[in-house]
Chain A
Amino acid sequence: QVQLQESGPGLVKPSQTLSLTCTVSGGSISSGSYYWSWIRQPAGKGLEWIGRIYTSGSTNYNPSLKSRVTISVDTSKNQFSLKLSSVTAADTAVYYCAGLLWGVGYGAFDIWGQGTMVTVSS
């Protein structure tokens, strides 16, 4: 059973770059049916999709964050990563990595990490 685990700093200073890594265990990140995504949730608020990557390196980003987001993949380490630049307090949230099962007429986040809290503060 595939599991995901987020890792990275829990505190980032304003204007700096937030960097998180998601490690995939129990299966290969190169499974053909999955894209790999980042989703965030500010405290007490809803879910916001940040972006997704396929193991080919192909990416899609939320237009509202596109100018600041980079998602990359390292298949040798079975990991994918998120970088969010020029952060402000508005980027404070729980960040989830998720597996997006994708196919013709199918697109659901059916694997989730436990989430990691990132606070932006000086």
Chain B
Amino acid sequence: DIQMTQSPSSLSASVGDRVTITCQASQDISNYLNWYQQKPGKAPKLLIYDASNLETGVPSRFSGSGSGTDFTFTISSLQPEDIATYYCQQYDNLFTFGPGTKVDIK
């Protein structure tokens, strides 16, 4: 089965900062990767699909890139409402989520 890792596990940044999260798959998954945002007590929300495509209605400050085994998720200018945990998820072989990255405001 495919394992997913994320780094960092948590981060603190200031409003307006650029935030970058990385996700690595244990084997080549092409671009079969999605990113989700989960706020406390809420269900996850799809932000990015197929590694780099922005889901409808999601602000353009969110973006994703990568293919193969290495992927990046970026918030270009961190906003207070972006406080959440972010998960990557592969769908090349069944479905596996990364362990998550918790983003806080400094």
Residues on A facing B (Cβ under 8 Å): 37, 46-49, 52, 60, 62-63, 96, 98, 100, 105-110, 112-115
Residues on B facing A (Cβ under 8 Å): 1, 31-32, 34, 36, 42-46, 49-50, 55, 87, 89, 91, 94-100
Inter-subunit contact A62/B94 (CB<8 Å): yes
Q: A47-B87, A96-B43, A113-B43 given as contacts; is B96 within 8 A of A108 (CB)?
A: no
Inter-subunit contact B97/A108 (CB<8 Å): no
Inter-subunit contact B50/A110 (CB<8 Å): no
Chain A hits for B89, CB < 8 A = 47, 108-109
Partner of A106, one of B1, B44, B50, B96: B50
Partner of B46, one of A47, A48, A60, A109: A109
Partner of A49, one of B36, B55, B97: B97
Q: A49-B94, A49-B97 given as contacts; is B32 within 8 A of A107 (CB)?
A: yes
A-B contact pairs, 15 of them (CB 8 A): A37-B95, A47-B100, A48-B97, A49-B94, A52-B95, A63-B1, A98-B43, A107-B32, A107-B34, A107-B91, A108-B34, A109-B89, A110-B55, A112-B44, A114-B43
Query: Chain B residue with minimal CB distance to A111?
Result: B46
Inter-subunit contact B46/A46 (CB<8 Å): no
Chain A nearest Cβ from B102, distance in angstroms = 10
Inter-subunit contact A60/B43 (CB<8 Å): no
Chain A hits for B50, CB < 8 A = 105-106
